[in-house]
Amino acid sequence: MTTLEVKPSNDLSVDLTGKQSRRRKELFVHIVLAAAGAVSLIISILIIWSLLKEAWTFIFNVEWANVWSIGWFPRRGFYDVKTLIVATFITTGIAMAIATPLGLGAAIYLSEYASKRFRAIVKPILEILAGVPSVVIGFFALSWVAPQIVSRIGGSDGGSLMAAGIGVGILTIPLVASISEDSMRADPDSLREASSGLGARKRHTIFSVIIPASISGLVASFIVATSRAIGETMVVFLAGGAADTAIFTSSAYDGSLTMTAAMASLSSGTDSVVGEGLTFQSLFFVGLILFALTLVLNMIATRFVNKVRERY
Amino acid sequence: MAIFGRLLDRRTKDHIQKSVTQALGTKRSGRSGILDTLLRYIIIALLFISLIILAVLIIDIAIDGFDVLSSRLGSFLSGTLRSRSVDEGIGIQQGLVGSFWIAVFVAVFAFPIGIAAAIYLEEYAPKNRLTKFIELNIRNLAGVPSVVYGLLGLFIFVKGFDVFLLRNFKSLVGGSSLAAAGLTLSILVLPIVIITAQEALKTIPSIIKEGAYGVGATKWQVIRGQVLPYAAPGILTGTLLSMSRAIGEAAPLILLGAVTGRLGLKAGLFDFYQLQERFTAMPIIITNWTQKQGRDIGFGENAAAAIVVLLFFVLLINATAILLRNYFEKKRA
């Protein structure tokens, strides 16, 4: 960023600040661009404000016995948040159990083993998987994963938290793969060369040198993917196996509503969100919990990513 | 080598060579080598499982949707939402028009504002705490779940709550309308546009800028004449990816009250009046038909056919973006 600043001075016969119209145009452009830069701040304020305002109404008017009860029946006044949170943790857990090994495996192969040519073919394919919309994965989870996989491992062939979790896992594989691969490729080659030079085998190089060196990036990829899995809506909405209401369950083979699925099913079907009393506000209360949870995870992930940047 | 030749006598050299070959010889045989090969196969297997999943996904959907697409592609593309899957007129025209307008909104609002914000942050903003905070804020916004953006749209556009100067937004966009959907998704992809544009702007070599300043260009002239043309491919890649993200996004639209049952309106592609009317979009149609397939199995085929159409557009945009990026990366390397 090199700027040339020339102050008008009495010694010079020419005024180097240029024509006034030229300076005015520069100022105008500066202001317009700065305004665009401020838009993101306004959006953040609006998000937090809308969530807090409605959630506040909910918190102060709801009967708290109904927030910790038997299940999520918002139109009848039972807002059991525990049901939603447990379901969210179940699907996220299953998703990460699938996405972490597969994504990490893809990342290790692409970064440590693959030839240039193989990488040039496979990387775009993984990026295509990353671009598949979540509704599509939701359809796939319900119409293929549930009957072909879940029903064979003891579940039903309809929607269930297991089917939804597998779907979310598929969705997050490319995310884990791309962040992990980036951080492993950021390790300088001198590390690999030094390790080989000492006579270490490939597996020792990978597990004792490369993975420890890029551990911050790997942790970051795990956290970002977890946050994405918690916030994923369409897969769990379509394949989660519950519509509108859910009784508390801690079994992955049952259908239930995650936080996001509860929000989606509360607002779909009818013209707008209607219901007894605080139904509309409950939407924002759940939204606030979701927002806070993912925000904390993302901030932690940013910390880890910055650590990688500092080192190399 | 010449140095070694002079420094080491022959006996020492032989001795070293012997011990090295011995060490390598004992290590290369046995368990250790097998473990290495095993690890390699495990890792290849993990990678191939991901690729197989993608293949199964595409094949499964293509098979499910094949009947509809091969027998009545024309009427499927021009048909409308129906309550029964056997209805002859069932199709996705309304969804295509809705998704088209969402893409237009993203191009009109998110692209210019996002690119302008990126230029400000990269070229103008002072390196201080506020700038750092704005950048952190944008990164956090990119990680906010899409349903939460749906809540924001619901709050501002549909319910029309008083938000200082924005209290007229509801009457302007017409509540739960196509315009509300377009604006909400523009807000959703804005952080992605900003981040990718920033990355593209960072790649410009400072010599180019310095050269332009040297011949007397003003800051804006440098940006318009040198920085933007140089960063254009990178910016374009980012905007294309965010556009495909917006087209495939369903969750915020559900929150906004997209029509899932019957939509009376059947507007043409360029009928502006529909912007203030109730709307639907491709991902919403897919969601709805997927849910209905339990009761009416025919909806499953139609959902798969709609997915094929949506994937065609989304993957076309993504592939263009990826190829474009690879082409310019190679050209500049």
Q: Which domains does chain B have, with CATH numbers?
A: 94-332 (1.10.3720.10)
What is residue A271's predicted lDDT score, i.e. its pLDDT?
47
Q: Do A136 and B322 touch (CB under 8 A)?
A: no
Structural domain boundaries in chain A: 20-61, 67-311
Closest CA to A242 of A99, A97, A74: A74
CB neighbours (10 Å) of residue B64?
Answer: 22
Dump pLDDT digits (tens) for B300-318. 999 999 999 999 999 999 9
* Interchain CB contact of B309 with A (< 8 Å): no
Q: Which residue from B24, B36, B119 is facing A203, i.e. has the nearest CB?
A: B36
* Interchain CB contact of B27 with A (< 8 Å): yes
Q: Does 1.10.3720.10 match the CATH number of domain A67-311?
A: yes
Q: How far apart are CA A102 and CA A107, in angstroms?
A: 9
Q: How far apart are CA A33 and CA B233, in angstroms?
A: 21
Q: Do B318 and A128 touch (CB under 8 A)?
A: yes
Contacts of B310 in chain A (CB under 8 A): 133, 135-136
Q: How far apart are CA A296 and CA A306, in angstroms?
A: 16
**Sequence-separated (6 or more) residues with CB below 8 Å from residue A164:** A91, A141, A235, A236, A238, A239, A240, A241, A258, A261
B35-39, B231-235, B267-271: the lowest-pLDDT one: B267-271
Residue B261's closest chain A neighbor by CA? A269
Q: Do A139 and B61 touch (CB under 8 A)?
A: yes
Share of chain B above pLDDT 70, in %: 83
The answer, yes or no, to whether residue A251 has pLDDT greater than 70, is yes
Q: How far apart are CA B147 and CA B256, in angstroms?
A: 10
Q: How far apart are CA B173 and CA B164, in angstroms?
A: 17
Dump pLDDT digits (tens) for A45-99. 999 999 999 899 888 888 887 777 788 888 778 888 899 999 999 999 999 999 9
- ipTM of this predicted structure: 0.88
Contact A307, A78 (CB under 8 A): no
- Report the amino acid identity of residue A298: N
What is residue B1's predicted lDDT score, i.e. its pLDDT?
44
Dump pLDDT digits (tens) for B25-71. 555 545 667 888 899 999 999 999 999 999 999 999 999 999 888 88
Contacts of A174 in chain B (CB under 8 A): 50
The answer, yes or no, to whether residue B3 has pLDDT greater than 60, is no
Q: Which of A139, A168, A244, A263 to mutate to test the interface with B (most CBs of B within 10 A)?
A: A139
Q: Which of B43, B285, B296, B299 to mutate to test the interface with A (most CBs of A within 10 A)?
A: B43
Distance of CA A266 to the CA centre of its chain: 22
- Residue A247 is given by DSSP the state E
What is residue A2's predicted lDDT score, i.e. its pLDDT?
57
Dump pLDDT digits (tens) for B129-185. 999 999 999 999 999 999 999 999 988 888 776 655 555 666 667 677 888 999 999
